[in-house]
Structure 1
Amino acid sequence: MRKFFKCSLMSIMILAVLVVSFGCTSDKITADGEEKLVSGFVTSKSMEDDKYYLTIHLAETSIEESSNLKLEVNNKETYDSAVEDEYYLISYIDKGADNLVVKSIEMNSSLGEIITKGVDMGNDNSDDDGIAFATDKLPTDNLTLLDSYIVDIDQDGSDETIALYTSAEKDSKGEIMWDDGQNWLLIVQGKDKDYILFNDYLQLGNIKFHVYTSDDILHINTVETTTAGIKVSDYKFDNGTNRFLIEVPFRTSENVNLLHSSTGY
Structure 2
Amino acid sequence: MKNLTKKISLLLLVVLVLTISFGCTPNEDSQKKLYTNLGFLESKSTEDNKNYIEIAANGENIKLEVRDKSVFNGLIENEYYMVAYNEDNTLESIEINEFIKDLVVDSMKEGQDTEEGDSFTISSSKPADFTDMTLLDSSKVDYDNDGTEETISLYTIAGRGPDGEMAWDDGQNWSLVLHDGDKEYVLFDDYIQLGGLHFYSYFQDEDFVITTVQSGTANLILKEYRFDKENDNFICTVKFLTKGNVNMLHQAPLKY
Bin for the TM-score computed over the shorter chain = 0.5 to 0.7
- Which runs of 5 or more residues in structure 1 are unaligned? 12-22, 24-39, 47-52, 56-72, 92-103, 113-124
Q: What's the counterpart of residue 153 of structure 2?
A: 163
Q: What's the counterpart of residue 125 of structure 2?
A: 135
Greater share of helix: 2
The reply on whether 1:263 has 2:253 as its aligned counterpart is: yes
Give 1:263 shift. Answer: 3.4
Q: What's the counterpart of residue 187 of structure 1?
A: 177
Once residues 16 and 158 of structure 2 are traced to their aligned partners in structure 1, the CA distance between those partners, rounded to angstroms, is: 22
Distance 1:110 1:255, change over 3 A: closer
Once residues 203 and 252 of structure 1 are traced to their aligned partners in structure 2, the CA distance between those partners, rounded to angstroms, is: 15
Once residues 42 and 165 of structure 1 are traced to their aligned partners in structure 2, the CA distance between those partners, rounded to angstroms, is: 30
Q: Is the 8 A contact 1:234 1:246 kept in 2?
A: yes
Q: What's the counterpart of residue 207 of structure 1?
A: 197
Q: Is the 8 A contact 1:42 1:82 kept in 2?
A: no
- Name the stretch that deviates more: 189-198 or 245-254: 245-254
Distance 1:107 1:168, change over 3 A: closer
Give 1:88 shift. Answer: 3.0
Distance 1:146 1:134, change over 3 A: same
Q: Is the 8 A contact 1:221 1:235 kept in 2?
A: yes
State TM-score, norm by structure 2.
0.61
Give 1:111 shift. Answer: 3.9
Once residues 165 and 43 of structure 1 are traced to their aligned partners in structure 2, the CA distance between those partners, rounded to angstroms, is: 30
Deviations 1:135-163 (A, max 9, x none): 00011000000000010111112221110
Identity %, equivalent residues: 33
Q: Is the 8 A contact 1:42 1:54 kept in 2?
A: no
The reply on whether 1:246 has 2:236 as its aligned counterpart is: yes
Deviations 1:167-223 (A, max 9, x none): 001122222110010110000011110001000000001010011111121110000
Q: What's the counterpart of residue 154 of structure 1?
A: 144
Structure number with greater Rg is 2
Q: Which amino acid aligns with 1:224?
A: Q
Match of 1:44 among 8, 18, 43: 18
**1:1-265 matches, cutoff 5 A:** 6-7=5-6, 44-46=18-20, 53=21, 83-84=35-36, 86=37, 88-90=39-41, 106=55, 108=57, 111=60, 127=114, 128-263=118-253
State TM-score, norm by structure 1.
0.59
Q: Is the 8 A contact 2:218 2:248 kept in 1?
A: yes
Secondary structure in 1 aligned to 2:253?
coil
Distance 1:41 1:111, change over 3 A: farther
Secondary structure in 2 aligned to 1:207?
strand
Q: Which amino acid aligns with 2:136?
A: L
Moved beyond 3 Å, runs of 4+ = 5-8, 40-43, 107-112, 125-128, 262-265
Q: Which amino acid aligns with 2:196?
A: N
Q: Is the 8 A contact 2:144 2:229 kept in 1?
A: yes
